[in-house]
């Protein structure tokens, strides 16, 4: 018997397999971008809501995935060694500065992403960036993975990834944010702190997990 958890987890895994967020998966299938969002998986009264067979058919057609492929993801869904595990998109920090990997809101989109499975990351839109270079030492070192949540609220003191309109991607700590500026503290004392105009920033997202 299929469970609500298995089906939705398989949709998450299918999106990650094709380098998409669940929003990107829905849009690619011609559906409303919120169709597969976590908030749509239960009703306001807490009743489980299932994806329609029509929406699943459109997703399979748009991705080119077979029904057998989707059922294999269903069977793999759920608990693995006691922990929730599903693949999430992965690219290098430097690569993230190039075009085509994010939408205007900083959510992962398009192809070109690798995948990695990380336990207990339940954010539908989370993705991972691989640290390149030494600018974040000693906190993060080259090869560490940073899991980023583009939809999470960002507050003072959070570790964040910032992408500017000129393609720069950097990870720092948010010290202050006003209507005109943000101030960022460097994790490596050898690198300067930064003050940026809000109008220069394409998006900013919170780091929710790091491999280390």
Q: Which helix (H) or strand (E) holds 136?
A: none
Alpha-carbon distance 133 to 191, whole Å? 12
Describe the chain by its helix, strand, coil percentages, rounded to 5: 25, 30, 45
Alpha-carbon distance 113 to 83, whole Å? 24
Confidence band (pLDDT; 50, 70, 90) for 83?
A: low
Which pLDDT tens digit goes with each residue over 114-151? 877 776 777 888 999 988 889 888 888 888 889 999 98
State pTM to two decimals: 0.61
**How far separated are the first and last CA of the chain, in Å rounded?**
39
Confidence band (pLDDT; 50, 70, 90) for 171?
A: very high
More confident residue, 89 or 2: 89
Going from the N-terminus, what domains does the chain have, and what CATH number goes with each? Answer: 1-77 (1.10.260.40), 83-212 (2.10.109.10)
Which pLDDT tens digit goes with each residue over 1-46? 678 888 888 888 888 788 777 888 899 999 998 898 877 888 877 7
Which pLDDT tens digit goes with each residue over 178-198? 999 999 999 999 999 999 999
């Amino acid at each position: 018997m299929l469970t609500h958890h298995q089906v939705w987890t398989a949709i998450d895994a299918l999106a990650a397999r094709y380098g998409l967020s669940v929003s990107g998966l829905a849009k690619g299938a011609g559906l409303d971008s919120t169709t597969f969002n976590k908030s749509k998986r239960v009703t306001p009264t807490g009743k489980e809501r299932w994806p329609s067979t029509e929406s699943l058919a459109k997703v399979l057609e748009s991705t080119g995935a077979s029904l057998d492929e989707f059922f294999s993801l269903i069977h793999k869904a759920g608990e693995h060694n006691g922990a929730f595990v599903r693949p999430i998109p992965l690219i290098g920090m430097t690569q993230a500065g190039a075009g085509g990997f994010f939408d205007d809101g900083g959510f992962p989109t398009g192809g070109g992403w690798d995948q990695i499975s990380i336990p207990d990351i339940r954010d539908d839109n989370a993705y991972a960036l691989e640290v390149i270079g030494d600018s974040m030492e000693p906190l993060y070192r080259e090869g560490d993975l940073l899991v980023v949540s583009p939809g999470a609220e960002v507050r003072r003191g959070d570790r964040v990834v910032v992408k500017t309109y000129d393609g720069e991607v950097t990870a720092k700590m948010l010290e202050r944010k006003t209507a005109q500026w943000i101030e960022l503290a460097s994790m490596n004392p050898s690198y300067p702190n930064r003050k940026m105009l809000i109008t220069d920033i394409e998006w900013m997202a919170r780091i929710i997990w790091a491999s280390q």
